[in-house]
């Protein structure tokens, strides 16, 4: 039984009292049939735009979408989209339809092509209800009967077939929309629909880039993303041809039980549902096929695949016009995803200082998803280590544990005022020495305690300073050593 909100009832009654038909249509009907509570409602009617505006003249109306044939009416705080019957909508151009069934036909999938009103009940010309109510929910494209000429026994014969092509040619992003339903909920694409999708993947060439990107993001963010990506790689590879070489690419290493694409799909599914992290997992191993080498024992190695993956990911994101901030985050995570996360707390605090807490946290979350996706049993020792590092990071941040010299309970000015040092340079060295102590013993980050240590143990601190200076001198003499940090901060501009 479908129960409508009072606002929707009022809108339908308003149109019917003016002499028009009115129905809720599309996703809201589908969700109500499944027992869910949709937040967005669309109403279609045989009234024209001016008739709709007149019928709701006493309500707050927005005509922002009028070019698309849409009027937004606010009733008791709910915004409702009301439209005349439409045959097609191309950007801001609209072709109107003479009847409800034509409007329903343009909605692509049978489960979205149902209408309902309290007066008529459910209207389901394409049998969308059966796609929803079977043992397995199915995504079924709307087709039409067309006559084609075929030869049977060498004799030309006219034959009628059910052709779904128009559902995808009229809106190419619908190819990814079908996959998205499988990712967001427990749907499967019906076999004839899947075959039609495979036959029409070239429609992607005419798709709007922003729609493809939005559908792809919804796919990777879905609850069942891993399954949807793995089962529909042949469709997705037309949008992301870079994944083709990863499918069935065996890694030949005891650290992985899966080929590169299967591992990638599982990593996306295990990842925290944040766009940066999900996309980073989708792209993180794209460089592996190009970087693989086999050692004398037959084991695969992938040196440099993080850098190669970053370059591939950046090419994809430019092509699909990702927002710059999102692209920068994803690129950085892909590049650094395979750098080991330290177990030592002191080293972890050095990374917090180098990267910032939020960036390091995302990197560890990527490592957790990556390590879980390597083996059939996701509870690997590497996963446990990464989770321990994440817990330590949260503890350091939440308790205010010192990880940066600016957090010391004493300042350089205090050391100078107390004449514990004779210059700014000595003050900097003494601050570094005190910071070294606090990194090892966080409880020592107390103003009085640090001043007491500085006063009573000045000679020992001076030895630390001399030892540090000697190490830096030796390091500067070694011209062939890497002087840059392993990590580099992202450009936040």
The confidence score (pLDDT) of residue 462 equals: 64
CATH for 6-134 (3.30.460.10, 2.40.50.140, 2.60.40.10, 1.20.1260.10):
3.30.460.10
Q: Is 461 exposed, middle or buried (0-12, 13-18, 19+ CB in 10 A)?
A: buried
- Of residues 226, 483, 232, 210, the one with CA closest to residue 378: 226
The confidence score (pLDDT) of residue 486 equals: 44
Residue 277 near residue 304, CB atoms below 8 Å: no
The confidence score (pLDDT) of residue 227 equals: 96
The confidence score (pLDDT) of residue 63 equals: 83
Question: How far are the Cα atoms of 8, 74, 118, 280, 424 from residue 60, in angstroms, in the given order?
Answer: 15, 5, 24, 43, 67
Phi-psi group of 445: left, alpha or beta (phi > 0 → left; psi -120 to 50 → alpha; rest → beta): beta
Longest pairwise C-alpha distance within the chain: 108
Residue 312 near residue 286, CB atoms below 8 Å: yes
Q: How many other C-beta atoms are found inside a 10 Å radius of the C-beta of residue 302?
A: 20
- Give residue limits of the domains in the chain: 6-134, 240-399, 405-477
The confidence score (pLDDT) of residue 425 equals: 81
Beta bridge partners of 157: 150
Question: How far are the Cα atoms of 51, 232, 332, 339 from residue 240, in angstroms, in the given order?
Answer: 46, 12, 20, 26
The confidence score (pLDDT) of residue 251 equals: 92
Report d(CA 294, CA 301) in Å as an integer: 6
pTM of the full structure: 0.84
The confidence score (pLDDT) of residue 484 equals: 43
Q: Is 338 exposed, middle or buried (0-12, 13-18, 19+ CB in 10 A)?
A: middle
* Per-residue pLDDT in tens (0 to 9) along the chain, 493 residues: 789 999 999 999 999 999 999 999 999 999 999 999 998 999 999 999 999 999 999 999 998 888 889 999 999 999 999 999 999 887 778 899 999 999 999 999 999 999 999 999 999 999 999 999 888 899 999 988 777 676 777 777 777 778 899 999 999 999 999 999 999 998 999 999 999 999 999 999 999 999 999 999 999 999 999 999 999 999 999 999 999 999 999 999 998 999 999 999 999 999 999 999 999 999 999 999 999 999 999 999 999 999 999 999 999 999 999 999 999 999 999 999 988 889 889 899 988 888 889 999 999 999 999 999 999 988 888 999 999 999 999 999 998 888 888 888 888 888 888 888 778 887 888 888 888 888 888 888 888 888 888 876 666 666 666 776 676 677 666 554 444 444 455 554 4
Look at the block and give the residue holding tokens 């970087």: 291
Report d(CA 75, CA 61) in Å as an integer: 9
Question: How far are the Cα atoms of 15, 23, 196, 309 from residue 289, in angstroms, in the given order?
Answer: 60, 53, 31, 10
The confidence score (pLDDT) of residue 173 equals: 94
Provide the pairing of β-strand 93-96 with 71-75.
unpaired
């Amino acid at each position: 039984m479908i129960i409508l909100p009072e606002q929707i009832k009022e809108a339908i009654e308003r149109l019917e009292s003016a002499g028009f038909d009115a129905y809720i249509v599309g996703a809201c009907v589908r969700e109500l049939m499944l027992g869910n509570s949709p937040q967005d409602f669309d109403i279609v009617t045989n009234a024209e735009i001016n008739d709709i505006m007149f019928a709701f003249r006493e309500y707050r109306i927005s005509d922002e979408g009028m070019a698309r044939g849409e009027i937004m009416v606010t009733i008791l705080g709910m915004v409702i989209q009301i439209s005349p019957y439409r045959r097609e909508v191309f950007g801001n151009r609209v072709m109107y339809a003479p009847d409800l069934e034509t409007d329903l036909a343009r909605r692509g999938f049978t489960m979205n092509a149902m209408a309902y009103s309290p007066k008529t009940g459910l209207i389901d010309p394409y049998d969308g209800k059966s796609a929803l109510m079977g043992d397995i929910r199915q995504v079924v494209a709307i087709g039409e009967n067309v006559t084609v000429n075929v030869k049977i026994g060498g004799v030309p014969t006219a034959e009628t077939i059910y052709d779904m092509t128009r559902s995808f040619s009229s809106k190419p992003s619908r190819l990814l929309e079908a996959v998205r339903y499988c990712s967001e909920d427990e749907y499967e694409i019906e076999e004839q629909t899947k075959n039609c999708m495979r036959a029409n993947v070239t429609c992607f060439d005419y798709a709007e880039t922003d729609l493809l990107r939005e559908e792809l993001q919804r796919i990777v963010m879905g609850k069942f993303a891993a399954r949807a990506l793995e089962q529909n790689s042949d469709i997705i590879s037309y949008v992301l041809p870079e994944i083709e070489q990863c499918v069935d690419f065996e890694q030949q290493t005891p650290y992985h039980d899966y080929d590169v694409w299967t591992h990638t799909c599982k990593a996306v599914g295990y990842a925290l549902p944040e766009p940066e992290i999900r996309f980073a997992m989708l792209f993180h191993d794209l460089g592996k096929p190009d970087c693989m080498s086999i050692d004398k024992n037959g084991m695969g190695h992938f040196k440099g695949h993080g850098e190669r993956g970053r370059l591939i990911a950046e090419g994809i994101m430019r092509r699909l016009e990702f927002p710059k901030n999102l692209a920068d985050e994803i690129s950085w995570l892909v590049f650094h995803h395979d750098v080991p996360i330290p177990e030592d707390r002191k080293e972890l605090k050095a990374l917090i200082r180098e990267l910032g807490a939020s960036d390091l946290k995302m990197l560890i979350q990527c490592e957790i998803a990556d390590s879980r996706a390597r083996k059939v049993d996701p509870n690997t020792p590497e996963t446990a280590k990464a989770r321990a590092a994440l817990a330590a990071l949260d503890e350091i941040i939440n308790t205010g544990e010192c990880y940066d010299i600016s957090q010391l309970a004493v300042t350089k000015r205090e050391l100078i005022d107390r004449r514990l040092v004779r210059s700014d340079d000595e003050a900097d060295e003494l601050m570094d020495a005190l910071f070294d102590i606090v990194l090892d013993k966080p409880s020592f980050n107390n103003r009085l305690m640090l001043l007491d240590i500085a006063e009573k143990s000045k000679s020992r601190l001076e030895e630390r300073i001399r030892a540090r200076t000697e190490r830096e001198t030796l390091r500067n003499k070694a011209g062939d050593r890497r002087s840059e940090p392993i990590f580099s901060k992202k450009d936040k501009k």
